Structure 1
Amino acid sequence: MSLDDAEIERLYAYPDTGRPWVRTNFVATLDGAAHAEDGRSGSLGGDVDTRVFHVLRSLADVIVVGAGTARIEGYGPGDVPIAVVSRRLDIPERLVVPGQLVITTADAPADRIEHLRETVDVIALGRGRVDWVAVLAELADRGWHRVLCEGGPTLHGELVALDLVDEVCLTIAPVLAAGDAPRIAHGAQSVDRAMRLGHCVAAEDVLLTRWVRERA
């Protein structure tokens, strides 16, 4: 099936819930690897996944990403604010520019927080770990309800464990990888979060799937 950008926008339109809606976006191989041989996920899904990636970004109010993923994938500023998550505040320099955000804990190094606040906005909530419920409330106060999380697997696993993921957009690449690459989510605890299939579209040998959290 051939998809144009208008059809991709229709497939991935955010619901109007009146609250923050957390969407995550990943690509994985047939055997579950979250990145290719080069250690990057961006090289897995081909042209159609790249197009979906950019459309999803255009639909979001804010993009949330772990510092490690931002560094490996070469993130830079775009049209949508990027909120980099880091407890150690090791933020890629390309993202320490006006208009971007940092999400960290309240007990992160105070001098580093103040230094970053000279250039970017810093949301520091929670002690020992980020208080994601409070962070989402803060984003909502800014009018940012359409939240797009692009990983990595540790951040994704944390949000899954807290049952804060409303939707997973997963591109399945026609590749077998083996090796020891991580899954799209991992963490210290196992959970069971039921999802329903929103859509499954075959395009250029790639499967574009969207899964929505079943909530009471």
Structure 2
Amino acid sequence: MDDEQLTQWYARAERPTVRVNFVTSVDGAVEVEGYSAGLSGPADKRVFGILRKVCDGLLVGAGTLRHEGYGAVTLDESRRAWRRAHGLPDAPTLAIVSASLAVDPASPVFTQAPARPVVLTTTAATAPPGLADVADVVRIGERELDITAALAALRERGLDQILCEGGPHLFGTLTAADLVDELCLTVSPLLTGPAAGRITAGPHREGGPAPMRLHHTLLGADDLLMLRYTRR
């Protein structure tokens, strides 16, 4: 399956959508030795790139940004060309969730970003010097960030197709607020044992589980199983 075919499997939605992307082991672990990269493989990385290619905004928690060592969100030329052909800017806008504003303005995430990032935070948080020079700081909520209002603020900027890459607490917050429309889940053929956490954490979701529908299943040559679930 080439990138054009794979893009059709993960096509942009016709309405504003929050799509979450995670990888897990077959026994439910979110990491190996502290990092998600140990669960990934070539097929998963291809889907990862396609999901970034088709989104408007890339949503990530500041803790995950630091822990996973994010760099500037850039795409290769073929994917930039696809975006231009579909009326999109060359790269998605990075949106960082940080209630405390514990971010480094000197990080390549900001200084080398092809699109000016957005930092979603609270009115009580103190911005580090220089942050306003490299990012748009959007304050929503006094001491606790209102994730529903945060998504609304991103959509006011034209970021309708949101891809969330975690971490687990951000995924749990979105789930608790009933904001998750899709889950793209890669299942890695590994048994890791009981040490690692799950792909979701944080607040309890009121109203019980949210029913999902299996949209498609793809099997990679590296035995990675890629699942796409959508809201019923």
| Alpha-carbon displacement from aligned partner over 1:173-206 (angstroms, at most 9, x marks no partner) | 0101113211111113154111111111112211
| Alpha-carbon displacement from aligned partner over 1:10-57 (angstroms, at most 9, x marks no partner) | 11112101xx310000000000001112x1112312000011101100
SS at match of 2:20: strand
Structure 2 residue 187 is matched with structure 1 residue 172: yes
Tell me the equivalent position of 1:72: 67
CA deviation after TM superposition for structure 1 residue 115, in Å: 4.2
Which amino acid in the other structure matches residue 119 of structure 2? V
Which amino acid in the other structure matches residue 164 of structure 1? L
Return the TM-score normalized by structure 1: 0.90
SS at match of 1:28: strand
Distance 1:178 1:65, change over 3 A: same
- Say if 1:30 and 1:176, in contact at 8 Å, map to a contact too: yes
Tell me the equivalent position of 1:54: 49
| Alpha-carbon displacement from aligned partner over 1:71-93 (angstroms, at most 9, x marks no partner) | 12111112322111111111142
Tell me the equivalent position of 1:105: 122
- Say if 1:64 and 1:148, in contact at 8 Å, map to a contact too: yes
Q: Please, which moves more after superposition, 86-95 or 165-174?
A: 86-95
Return the TM-score normalized by structure 2: 0.84
Which amino acid in the other structure matches residue 28 of structure 1? T
Distance in 2 between residues matched to 1:85 and 1:133, nearest whole Å: 12
Structure 2 residue 79 is matched with structure 1 residue 81: no
Among candidates 16, 33, 36, match of residue 32 of structure 2? 36
Which amino acid in the other structure matches residue 27 of structure 1? V
Tell me the equivalent position of 2:13: 15
CA deviation after TM superposition for structure 1 residue 107, in Å: 2.1
Which amino acid in the other structure matches residue 225 of structure 2? L
| Alpha-carbon displacement from aligned partner over 1:85-111 (angstroms, at most 9, x marks no partner) | 1111111423233611211112222xx
| Alpha-carbon displacement from aligned partner over 1:100-126 (angstroms, at most 9, x marks no partner) | 1211112222xx167421221111111
Distance in 1 between residues matched to 2:203 and 2:152, nearest whole Å: 25
Distance 1:138 1:25, change over 3 A: same
Distance in 2 between residues matched to 1:25 and 1:124, nearest whole Å: 25
SS at match of 2:92: coil
Which amino acid in the other structure matches residue 109 of structure 2? L
- Say if 1:84 and 1:91, in contact at 8 Å, map to a contact too: no
Distance in 2 between residues matched to 1:154 and 1:166, nearest whole Å: 17
Which amino acid in the other structure matches residue 210 of structure 1? R
Distance in 1 between residues matched to 2:196 and 2:120, nearest whole Å: 26
Distance in 2 between residues matched to 1:132 and 1:188, nearest whole Å: 12
Structure 2 residue 20 is matched with structure 1 residue 24: yes
Unaligned runs of 5+ in 1: none
Q: CA RMSD in A?
A: 1.6
Distance 1:114 1:106, change over 3 A: farther
- Say if 2:147 and 2:173, in contact at 8 Å, map to a contact too: no
Aligned length: 207
Tell me the equivalent position of 1:94: 108
CA deviation after TM superposition for structure 1 residue 148, in Å: 0.4
